[in-house]
Amino acid sequence: MKKRIFLLLALVLIAPRLWAENQKVTIDIKAMTCSLCVISINKALRSTDGVIKAKASLKTHQAEVIVPEGFDNQLLLTAISRTGYSGEIQGVVPAP
């Protein structure tokens, strides 16, 4: 019984380190001028397979997107371009 508890505890402590890290991708988006722009971009990004979280901001003219490590960021730019806007990846950092 002690061995099972020890193994379970070890698995719980070690497993998160084995999971892939998420990344935060910051994208500059040109020509956003209204809240409908933000809604369109959010919808396009959030419907992209693999996106965990996305939030565009009219104030900063940027979108912050949480994706799994190794995600093809070009898919994000393609989703944005389908809405009629253009984006440029500003940075990719580990997600908090």
Does residue 5 lie in a domain region?
no
Instruction: Identify whether 1 is part of a domain.
Output: no
Question: What is the total count of domains within the chain?
Answer: 1
Judge contact between 75 and 47, C-beta under 8 A: no
- Indicate whether 4 belongs to any domain: no
- Would you say residue 8 lies in a domain? no
pLDDT in tens, 6-56: 656 555 555 554 466 999 999 999 889 999 999 999 999 999 999 999 999
CA distances from 22 to 65, 78, 84, 85 (A): 10, 20, 28, 25
- Of 61, 65, 90, 62, nearest in space to 75 by CA: 65
pLDDT above 50 (res 4): yes
Residue partners of 93: CB distance under 8 A and separation at least 6: 23, 24, 26
Domain annotation covers residue 11: no
**Segments in the chain forming alpha helices (H):** 2-18, 35-46, 74-82
CATH for 31: 3.30.70.100
Which domain covers residue 43, as residue numbers?
20-94
Q: Taking the complete model, does pTM exceed 0.85, yes or no?
A: no
Six-digit token pair at 89?
A: 């990846």
